[in-house]
Amino acid sequence: DHLANQIAAGEVVERPASVLKELIENAVDAGASRIDVSAEEGGLNLLRVADDGTGIQPDDLLLAFQRHATSKIATGKDLFQIATLGFRGEALPSIAAVAKVKCVSATDDSGLAQMIEIEGGTLISNRETNAPKGTEMVVKDIFFNTPARLKYMKTIQTELGHLSDVIYRQALARPDIAFTFSHNGNLLLRTPGNGDLRQVVAAIYGTSSAKAMIEVKEENPDYSIYGLTALPIETRANRNAVTVLINGRFVRSQAVVQPLMQAYHTLLPLHRYPLAVINLKMHPTLVDVNVHPAKLEVRFSKESELRAFVETAIKNTVSSEAYIPS
């Protein structure tokens, strides 16, 4: 089982940012309204994620670190109805196999909590402690027992960039959750958690960019789209400028980005990307999120319909703005 965890870790834990993604997804799945993230040295020394979610029962804490012990899926059919971000029950065991992990969790505000420590897959302690409701995960010295992997890590700055990407995507996906992110003691991001997407965009990209964006809103029986997109004159060179979220999950999807670009193109030739956040909602049977282990790629069962829907929605939004240069 130790070996299985190490092998799974190779898939789940590529770098500190992949650990952070799993920890934040767990906090979101636990219904957190606040998620506080801190990191040291690009996450290579330390990653900490604290939430105010449901917490983990004391008796379940060890189980949470055992492979497939906690899969959120009950039956095969459920795969198509995934409401939670996590569903494989592999992340925590994988992370604990390649790092020093401490988890403190409480399911209520009685003050009583449980704390577990696992280092490189070895249980160090599992005992009662005191903490408020929610879960705190601390992951130290990632890859301390797999030096070959550690060698592949880039500079602190590069790893920090990946950590920021993970936080930004989650914060954009969930404006109703208050996020903070600190690195080496410096607060880098704070979102209000009041449900207002524009305020999250402002916190990430700056107030003036956020102010200049226009609202995209459209629905048909299969799809709904909600988001913010830049005026055609406000563009960026970086294709990361377009954030695509499907049913609350960040994905890379040309099936969404291409029709968005197409919609802009018909109004004005554009060789750069508009800053945009696009939330698409659809019945889970219309999208397969299980294509890639990191769950960034998806397949759509009615892709051409989706493309047409996105293009029309963006066209309607952008052309409704009177001051497009002619």
Q: Shortest approach of ligand ADP to residue 156 CB, angstroms?
A: 26
Q: Shortest approach of ligand ADP to residue 61 CB, angstroms?
A: 8
Report how far residue 196's alpha carbon sits from residue 121's, in angstroms, rounded to the nearest whole number: 41
H/E run at residue 18: helix 16-29
Strand, coil or helix: 299: strand
| Tokens found for residue 75 | 């039956």
166 makes contact with Mg ion (CB under 5 A): no
Q: Shortest approach of ligand ADP to residue 95 CB, angstroms?
A: 8
Report how far residue 153's alpha carbon sits from residue 29's, in angstroms, rounded to the nearest whole number: 29
Out of ligand ADP, Mg ion, none, what residue 243 binds, judged by CB under 5 to 8 A for its kind, is none
| Tokens found for residue 271 | 């060789």
Q: Shortest approach of Mg ion to residue 23 CB, angstroms?
A: 8
What residue ranges bind ligand ADP (CB under 6 A)?
22, 26-27, 30, 51, 53-56, 64, 70-72, 86-92, 135
Question: 51 or 159: whose CB is closer to ligand ADP?
Answer: 51
Contact 90, 25 (CB under 8 A): no
Out of Mg ion, ligand ADP, none, what residue 92 binds, judged by CB under 5 to 8 A for its kind, is ligand ADP
Out of Mg ion, ligand ADP, none, what residue 120 binds, judged by CB under 5 to 8 A for its kind, is none
91 makes contact with Mg ion (CB under 5 A): yes
Q: Which residues contact 265 (CB under 8 A, 6 or more apart)?
A: none
Question: 22 or 311: whose CB is closer to ligand ADP?
Answer: 22
| Amino acid letter for position 100 | K
| Tokens found for residue 106 | 């409480």
